[in-house]
Chain A
Amino acid sequence: MSDLLYMVLVAPFKDMAGSPAFLVEVLIGGVFAGLMYSLVALGFVLIYKASGVFNFAQGVMVLFAALTLVGLLERGAPVVVALALTAAVMVGLAYAIERVVLRPLVNQPQIILFMATIGLNFFLEGFGEMAWGANVKKLDIGIPDRSFIVRGVQINELELTAAVTAAVLVTLLALFFQTTRIGLALRAVADDHEAALSIGIPLKTIWVVVWSVAGVVAIVAGLMWGAKSGVQFSLSLIALKALPVLILGGFESVPGAIVGGLIIGVGEKLGEVYWGPLVGGAIENWFAYVLALAFLLVRPQGLFGEKIIERV
């Protein structure tokens, strides 16, 4: 018994202290994975705030964006042109989704909309792979995947770039929400659809805008993840990981998405490296969900969410 306690409560921390450089590397790996989750979660939050739709297809949008980008690059398009075209495709996609899925389902219960995005998820997955091929592709955007060493800690240039990009993107989005007219309209819509409509905010335009923005966020996420580990189906699985991130951060909070992503990313890596071996490894698969589940029971509204008072 005391052996077990030692293995669970003491040994992992001794390991950490024994090799701080390794610990830092694990942490960096976790932060990187966490940023990816955050980026996907960010797309979720944007759409949820504006349309109340829980977009299960966000992960596939990441995959779709990456596939489109790689496809264009493979056909010889310069990076800038390919990016612009991909963005155009994502905007077109947002428009199509508003027209075909959201508009007919307006005023349906959330759970129906959620299931609809599961349908969307599978449709886009099939469509994306059919259009661009299903094999694993290397995405090369000119950022070298090499490392340099600072004080004995390996730092990967690509990961660093990704981190900086994500940080810039989040700042931009926050500014967009706080200062522009569209941002203001978005917040109004998020607050109350009908009231927003009645003061002349064009709901449909707002939805297209927000799904487009989520599409662009998906491009960035797809770009980073794809450059790191290749563009492949497993990209869409990070969407599932974004769910616990959202539960941790709260569905309506941009900072929540970021912090939640980092907690899950780092927690998962630490758990896997230091505690995983005790139970046979591969706990990365469920750690995030179980953490989210435990968290739900304590604080259902998330770290940054507001307490919901249910009106009768």
Chain B
Amino acid sequence: MIYREAGRFKTSYASDQAIFPIVQDRVFVRAAVVAAFVVPPLVAGDYWLQAILIPFLIYALAAIGLNLLTGYAGQLSLGTGGFMAVGAYSAFKLTTAFPRLSIIAVFLLSGLAAAAIGLLFGIPSLRIKGFYLAVATLAAQFFLIWLFNKVAWFTNYASSGTITAPDRTVLGVTVTGPNATAAARYVMALAFVTVFALVAKNLVRGRIGRSWMAIRDRDIAAEIIGVRPLRTKLLAFGISSFYCGVAGAELVFLYLGSAETLAFDINQSFLVLFMVIIGGLGSVLGSFLGAAFIILLPIFLTRLPHSLGLIMSVALQKQIELMIFGGLILFFLIVEPHGLARLWQIGKEKLRLWPFPH
């Protein structure tokens, strides 16, 4: 079937308001989601699952979270790492304090804990904007990491200062801890990101998303329409931090297995911000694309010289990586602020007209 919408008229507002108004898109996305649940666990090796797919899904969740706050509500945050840490440490404390609590509940509660902390640090956003707010979120980043480092209670007084994911099961399958297979952890991460991507999409296409974008685009006009700035921004902070918190818990429980505060330092905040900018500000799809890009680039940089027979030192790789990240951020901000997501859309529009571009 040719990818086309001509001749298919929408007969109700409901079909026009759908996430994917074009039939092919809807079919394709549903098929892709089903395939994502079934194919990789059967086909992909542990390396692919562990080194690429699992971190991709987890970072995509964090990127969606930050995108809700920065891309949709227009509030820049450099504290993502800190909010992820809140999720991770809450999950650790919850699993050790309540061993019988379902791991799904643990993740959700950890997200709520992060949301509460996010709300707290979002309060200054009433009075301050832009990079002033960025400084407030930096305060969150440094303070939270310091707190988890210094207060031994958070690590259950472990002398190593690390938190470790215990074994937990869902429906009889071990999904976290040292005995969980990569495939099980993958499915778990995928389930979460699927549900929450859908929720994010629902939020941004409705009343709440419109108030966020209104505040982002023109706060004064938003107020006169009845958007309450503090409430709206705080909601964005809370939901964004919830996503980051769940992602942080997943990072330790589904990916790393154990972690110290170092895993959540300021670089983590920047990494997620890069995903959002490169993927596309104000796009849920872009968050996935950005996460994929940022995860794949270092792997690509490791492999490429190797396959070309070149020898590249680790330091040089790191430097090139920084330059590419930095360069791409400039490129996208200047040329295409809507990031990879917009490029994807342009590609689709070309396809819609194909093979008659005029």
Q: Which residues of A are at the interface with B, using a C-beta cutoff of 8 A? A: 54, 100-101, 104-105, 108, 110-112, 114-116, 118-127, 129-130, 134, 240, 243-244, 247, 279-283, 285-286, 289-290, 292-293, 296-297, 300, 312
Flag if B319 contacts A293 (CB, 8 Å).
no
Which 3 residue pairs across A and B have the least CB separation, nearest first? A123-B326, A119-B329, A126-B322
Docked CA distance A101–B326 (Å): 12
Main secondary structure of the interface of A (DSSP, over half): helix
* Interchain Cβ contacts within 8 Å, total number: 128
Contact check, A280 vs B142: say whether CB atoms are below 8 A apart: no
List the interface of chain B (C-beta within 8 A of A): 74, 76, 124, 127-128, 130-132, 134-136, 138-139, 142-143, 145-146, 149-151, 220, 266, 270, 273, 277, 315-316, 318-330, 333-334, 337
CB nearest neighbor in B for A135: B315
Q: Are B130 and A124 in contact (CB under 8 A)?
A: no
Q: Which residue of A lies closest to B147 (CB)?
A: A286
Cβ contact within 8 Å between A124 and B326: yes
Please measure, in the bound complex, the distance between the C-alpha atom of A281 and the C-alpha atom of B147, giving whole angstroms: 11
Chain B hits for A296, CB < 8 A: 124, 127-128, 132, 135-136
User: Apart from A130-B323, A240-B266, what are 20 other A-B pairs with CB-CB below 8 Å?
Assistant: A101-B330, A111-B74, A112-B337, A114-B134, A119-B325, A119-B329, A119-B333, A120-B326, A122-B329, A123-B325, A125-B326, A126-B318, A126-B322, A130-B316, A130-B320, A243-B131, A286-B139, A286-B142, A289-B143, A293-B135
Contact A112 B127 (CB under 8 A): no
Which residue of chain B has its CB nearest to the CB of A312?
A: B220
Cβ-defined contact, A119 with B143, below 8 A: no
User: Whose C-beta in chain B lies nearest to the C-beta of A246?
Assistant: B135
- With CB as the reference atom, state the residue of chain A lying closest to B313: A134
Docked-complex contact A243 and B316, CB < 8 angstroms:
no
A58 vs chain B, min Cβ distance (A): 12
Q: Which residue of chain A is the closest to B149 with respect to CB atoms?
A: A282
Q: Which residues of B contact A125 (CB under 8 A)?
A: 322, 326
Closest to A133 in B: B315
Residues of A contacting B132 in the complex (Cβ-Cβ under 8 angstroms)? 247, 296, 300
Kindly provide the distance from the CB of A93 to the nearest chain B CB, expressed in whole angstroms.
14
- Asked if B333 contacts A105 (CB within 8 A), the reply is yes
Docked Cα-Cα span, A225 to B131, in Å, equals: 26
Question: CB < 8 Å: which of B136, B318, B325 contacts A293?
Answer: B136
Bound: A309/B350 CA distance, A? 47
User: Are B334 and A292 in contact (CB-based, < 8 A)?
Assistant: no
Question: Can you report 27 residue pairs joining A to B where beta carbons are below 8 Å apart?
Answer: A105-B333, A111-B74, A112-B333, A112-B337, A114-B130, A115-B273, A116-B329, A116-B334, A118-B270, A119-B325, A119-B328, A122-B322, A122-B329, A123-B322, A126-B319, A126-B321, A126-B324, A126-B326, A127-B323, A129-B322, A243-B131, A243-B134, A243-B138, A279-B150, A283-B146, A290-B139, A290-B143
Q: A240 to chain B: which residues have CB within 8 Å?
A: 138, 266
A132 and B150 alpha carbons, distance in the complex (Å): 36
Cα-based distance from A109 to B124 in the complex (angstroms): 21
User: How many angstroms between the C-alpha atoms of A120 and B318 in the bound complex?
Assistant: 16
Q: Is the CB of A123 within 8 A of B327?
A: yes
A16 to B128, CA, bound (A): 37
B contact residues around A283 at 8 Å (CB): 146
Q: Across the interface, do A54 and B131 meet the contact criterion of CB distance under 8 Å?
A: yes
Contact check, A126 vs B130: say whether CB atoms are below 8 A apart.
no
A282 near B330 (CB under 8 angstroms)?
A: no
Q: Is the CB of B315 within 8 A of A134?
A: yes
B74, B124, B273, B319: the one contacting A118 at CB < 8 Å is: B273
A246, chain B: closest CB distance, angstroms: 8
Identify which of A100, A126, A280, A292 contacts B320 (C-beta below 8 A): A126
